[in-house]
Amino acid sequence: MSYTLFDLLKLLGSLGMFLYGMKIMSEGLQKIAGNKLRGILSAMTANRFMGILTGVLITAMIQSSSATTVMVVSFVNAKILSLAQSISVIMGANIGTTVTAWIISLFGFKVDIGIMVLPLIALAIPLMFSKRNRNQSWAEFIMGFAFLFLGLEFLKTNVPNVQGNPDMLRFLRDYSDMGYASILLFVCIGSILTVVVQSSSATVAITLVMCSQGWVSFEIACATILGENIGTTITANLAALSANVSAKRAAFAHFIFNVFGVIWALILFYPFTRMIASIVSNIGPGDPSRITEFVANLSPEHMSAISGGGNLSPELSALRSEYIGLQTAISYSLSLFHSTFNIINVLVMIWFVKFYVKICTKLIKSKKQDEEFQLKHISAGILSTAELSILQAKRETIVYAERMKRMLNMCRDLYFEKNERNFLKIFGRIEKYENISDRMEIEIGNYLRQVSEGRLSAASKEVIRDILRVITEIESVGDSMYNMARTINRRNENNEGFTPELDEHVEAMLELIGKAIDRMIEVLKIEIPQKSDMDISFNIENEINTLRNKLKMHNIEDVNSKKYDYTVGVIYMDFIAECEKLGDYAVNVVEAWCNVSN
């Protein structure tokens, strides 16, 4: 079997289509998900047991654990599922994939998702040209979904055709009689095979061929299936290459979950496989461990005769019946081994979800630009008492304000950044923070709405109204900063450089804005602020207004004096005006917060 450079390029192209599909699917999800899909998935994964059941059902329906884990990674990438929720769904997918093995074993039926790719694209095309943004987002999601599975199909097609040439693996039987070393070796071989053929079901089929031909023993076949459980995690990790840090952690959680499972299975390997063989021998068609000996005692002529068709002598017919029975025993035993391993693994590992989260968070650290949306003090589920819920909302509001401070620092860096690549990176981070700002306002607002539906005093209801006003004003702060970033971006796109004097004016304004934001955060952290605490904020706001008016007059004089173009003056004053608005919003936050605490 030859494998050329052209075949390699087709393989890389398939991988590229897979990753591209993953990327635009996640982006489409982010745009259309809103709170409804997030709420549905959160309800389905409300606890670890529900998450596992969700993973089992989805995988059993679409009959692909790889597809399930890739979708889970995309949900995490779109910030719809948390890392802990994704781990429980992935655990369920591991059980669900064994359902597929039983369906194939018993009925020979498997859904081919690849046949749905072209109809999905046909469905997406009209939506793509719709004038409604929501329809375009649906088109993006559907196209991403189609490309993702088209990429998976191409990956399976363009890898070396091991499944169609199992004879090339005949040499492996020479390494199957080295005791426990052979077990470890075939775990590695199973992992590599699954990576190569990109299908755990295909690896099981290859293993079944090798075992039914007597090339390897039942124990070696079980070791290969253990390796397949590690190899199948590669697909999700490939999907996470272009995803955010949370998605990378989810994919890595799948990997370490299966690795830990294989470790305990290897420790108990021989008792485990003997138990499976005993169960199938007692209630099934035969002892799976006998097939190697059976094939070894047959001559090549007899083996060829009972493997083919035609009429046979009574002796050969009996041998054929025994051989078919042993092959059936092997099929059932490997399916039972796979199912039992994954079920026990989930039942054991389900209690260590938080441990997996800690490991993944520690090993895959987020970079400065990878900050994701996550509430720190408000959690989903049953609400606390009214007083505690309001306290949690207050703490979350402080976190919200601190994020806005980081966003302001990014705007300052963006203004003075000269390197185009770094500029685009910072601008991308500001866009992400603006999205986080919108999400935090919605999440805190929804939480307070749920709190307000309970039995509250009139004073508590008033406090909730004031906190809602605070988060609205903080969101406006985020909007102003994003508008500032867009103004800076417009300056760069128009190649309109500011003079050193204008840069000094902007620096002075940014310094005052920084003081306003710092003061806003200080007041938010005061447990019972007084009306007098607003005075400093009002003074800073007066300084901002005075400077804005002064710079406005200077700008008119400088444009008339032709120190810079009128276009530069417009962009410059747009930036200054946005800074002044930001100062107003910061004062509004302080004023509303003082009402909250009094």
pLDDT tens per residue, range 486-530? 999 998 888 877 888 999 999 999 999 999 999 999 988 887 777
Residue 245 pLDDT more than 90? no
**One-letter amino acid identity for 240?**
A
pLDDT for residue 582:
92
Rounded Cα–Cα distance for residues 93 and 68 (Å): 7
Q: For the segment 467-490, what is each residue's pLDDT rounded down to a tens digit?
A: 899 999 999 999 999 999 999 999
- Between 370 and 511, name the one with better pLDDT: 511
Q: For the segment 46-65, what is each residue's pLDDT rounded down to a tens digit?
A: 677 888 888 887 776 655 66
Rounded Cα–Cα distance for residues 200 and 207 (Å): 10
Local structure of 528: helix, strand or coil: coil
- SS3 for 453-489 is CCCCCHHHHHHHHHHHHHHHHHHHHHHHHHHHHHHHH
Average pLDDT over every residue of 277-289? 76
pLDDT for residue 206:
66
pLDDT for residue 510:
93
Correct CATH for 384-596 of 2.40.70.10, 1.20.58.220, 4.10.640.10, 3.40.50.300:
1.20.58.220
Round the CA-based radius of gyration of the chain to a whole number and report it: 31
Q: Is 417 left (phi over 0), alpha (psi -120 to 50) or beta?
A: beta
Average pLDDT over every residue of 369-380? 59
The helix or strand, by DSSP H or E, that contains position 246, with its residue range, turns out to be: helix 245-267
Minimal CA–CA distance to 198: which of 168, 233, 249?
233
pLDDT for residue 382:
43
Local structure of 290: helix, strand or coil: helix
What percent of the chain lies above the pLDDT cut of 70?
74
Burial of 572 (0-12, 13-18, 19+ CB in 10 A): buried
Confidence of residue 118 (pLDDT cuts 50, 70, 90): confident
| Cβ-based neighbour number of residue 494 at 10 Å | 12
DSSP per-residue codes, 483-517 = HHHHHHHHHHHTT-PPPHHHHHHHHHHHHHHHHHH
Q: Which of 88-97, 260-269, 286-295 has the lowest mean pLDDT?
A: 286-295
What percent of the chain lies above the pLDDT cut of 90?
15
Residue 336 pLDDT more than 50? yes
Q: Which of 11-25, 425-439, 540-554 has the lowest mean pLDDT?
A: 11-25
Domain with CATH 1.20.58.220 in the chain: 384-596
- Between 392 and 106, name the one with better pLDDT: 392
pLDDT for residue 381:
46
pLDDT for residue 182:
83
Rounded Cα–Cα distance for residues 271 and 265 (Å): 10
pLDDT for residue 108:
47
Residue 546 pLDDT more than 90? yes
Residue 112 pLDDT more than 60? no
Confidence of residue 388 (pLDDT cuts 50, 70, 90): confident
Q: For the segment 550-576, what is each residue's pLDDT rounded down to a tens digit?
A: 999 999 998 898 888 898 899 999 999
Confidence of residue 352 (pLDDT cuts 50, 70, 90): confident
Confidence of residue 16 (pLDDT cuts 50, 70, 90): confident
pLDDT for residue 540:
92
Name the average pLDDT for the chain.
78
**One-letter amino acid identity for 495?**
N
pLDDT for residue 110:
46
Place of tokens 């046949």: 115
Residues 311-325: b if buried by 16+ CB within 10 A, e if exposed: ebeeebeebbebbeb
Residue ranges of alpha helices (H) inside 45-179 are 48-62, 65-77, 83-107, 117-128, 133-158
- Between 453 and 370, name the one with better pLDDT: 453
Q: Which of 126-140, 299-313, 529-543 has the lowest mean pLDDT?
A: 299-313
